[in-house]
Amino acid sequence: MKQFNFHVKPIGLLDMLHFKKLVPNRAEKLAEGANEQVTSVYKVNRMSEFMHPATQMLTIDEIIAHDDDTKTFILTGQYIAPFRAGQYLSVYLTIGESVITRPYSISSSPQWTKEGKYAVTVKRASDGFASDWILSNWKVGIQVTTSGPEGNFYYEPLRDAGHVIGVAGGSGITPFLSMAYAIRDGLEDFNLTLLYGSCAESDILYKLELAEIEKNCDKVKIIHVLSEEKTSCYEYGFITSELIKKYGGDHPYSIFLCGPPAMYNFVDKEIEKLKLESKYVRHELFTSPASPAGLDGYEGDVQKQYVLTVKRFGEQLSVPMKASETVLVALERAGIAAPSRCRGGECGWCRARLDKGETFTPSHLDGRRMADKTTGHIHPCCAYPLSDLTIDICPE
């Protein structure tokens, strides 16, 4: 067997003795520190809470009425979270017995957050339970609770082309207004060509603001498209593939869409004709339709009524639920404060475990992870009941 000869000099011997004591010394130190309070507030935690707050208390500072059905609310707060142009705030509302949320795109420049301000624009919708309530009840000085800025509808240079064609309809202009401000203010760097569809000239939201940005910033170009009024100043008709090609120029460009479902249905078919890679086409959230009737794959009966049994923190209660509404709406109508943000299947905040029963989720809203699908989790914001259900809204 090979023999090793170590020659240890006096200094080395001291090192070895020191090393021998290293482990017992450490154990002693750990035992001493065992009773000390472990700090839980690191700088990075504080920064993360500031950037992504769960809630923000804001005050309505100013209200700008565009017409009887549309108002912009300027919301202020002492410390408000920064955002990327195109993101939204989810607003928390208590209306009668119902506790609900609604997402609204931020329409102001990201620059405004330095002054503690956001702007959101609310337009009355035909079935707009929340928008009607906000338009009638939000007054200057009232405090409102919102989420932090949320959503993925913003420009990302690693993914998107340097030229973005924004396709907007009605109040879907709001995230694009914020993007245009961000470009003007030097906070975003891309070219934005905005095709903005309205019925008539009088329906155009933020006409002066958009014109002002276009005048001062050569990276922003605005084209108004009117569907019900023919004038020499504007394009007439709908936003077609021809119109996109006319103003888009040579590919590559990314197309961002934000507007009502009817606009998505029409423009998506037009975009198909352009044969773009899917990464070049992005939609702002689709929120769940008021009824699943007529959706691809839906085989339920919207006239039926079911019972929803809800488990939360070891408690259990049962509430009525219509087949025509999402599970989240049934929870909210019963006054159960269920978590939610986007209401379109994307964010995962409403995730719940389905213990019993069957639901239908429209494929275009199904943002669940594969693991959640296989372990029986649902997103109540876009799940419609097909039977009585038992769900746990605070699963592990």
Contacting positions for ligand FES (CB under 6 A): 340-343, 345-350, 379, 381
Which residue's CB is nearer to ligand FES, number 183 or number 383? 383
Closest CA to 87 of 130, 148, 140: 148
Which residue's CB is nearer to ligand FES, number 129 or number 349? 349
Query: Which amino acid is residue 146, in one-letter code?
Result: T
Query: Which amino acid is residue 129, in one-letter code?
Result: F
Question: Smallest distance from the beta carbon of 94 to ligand FES, in angstroms?
Answer: 18
Q: Are 101 and 148 in contact (CB under 8 A)?
A: no
Q: How far apart are CA 176 and CA 70, in angstroms?
A: 17
Task: Tell me if the bond preceding 252 is cis, omega within 30° of 0.
Answer: yes
Residues 6+ apart with CB under 8 A from 73: 60, 62, 63, 119, 120, 121, 122, 134, 138
Q: How far apart are CA 194 and CA 164, in angstroms?
A: 8
Which residue's CB is nearer to ligand FES, number 134 or number 329? 329
Q: How far apart are the first and last CA of the chain?
A: 59
Question: Smallest distance from the beta carbon of 341 to ligand FES, in angstroms?
Answer: 5
Which residue's CB is nearer to ligand FES, number 107 or number 340? 340
Question: Smallest distance from the beta carbon of 100 to ligand FES, in angstroms?
Answer: 11
Question: Smallest distance from the beta carbon of 368 to ligand FES, in angstroms?
Answer: 8
Which residue's CB is nearer to ligand FES, number 12 or number 376? 376
Element of type H or E holding 146: strand 143-146
Q: How far apart are CA 237 and CA 235, in angstroms?
A: 7
Closest CA to 258 of 337, 315, 179: 179
Question: Smallest distance from the beta carbon of 318 to ligand FES, in angstroms?
Answer: 22
Question: Smallest distance from the beta carbon of 348 to ligand FES, in angstroms?
Answer: 5
Query: Which amino acid is residue 160, in one-letter code?
Result: D
Question: Smallest distance from the beta carbon of 117 to ligand FES, in angstroms?
Answer: 26
Ordered DSSP codes for 242-281: HHHHHHH-SSP-EEEEES-HHHHHHHHHHHHTTT--GGGE
Q: How far apart are CA 62 and CA 298, in angstroms?
A: 44
Which residue's CB is nearer to ligand FES, number 173 or number 347? 347
Q: Which two tokens stand for residue 395?
A: 């699963």
Question: Smallest distance from the beta carbon of 288 to ligand FES, in angstroms?
Answer: 9
Q: Are 285 and 342 in contact (CB under 8 A)?
A: yes
Question: Smallest distance from the beta carbon of 347 to ligand FES, in angstroms?
Answer: 3
Residue 118, strand partner residues? 75
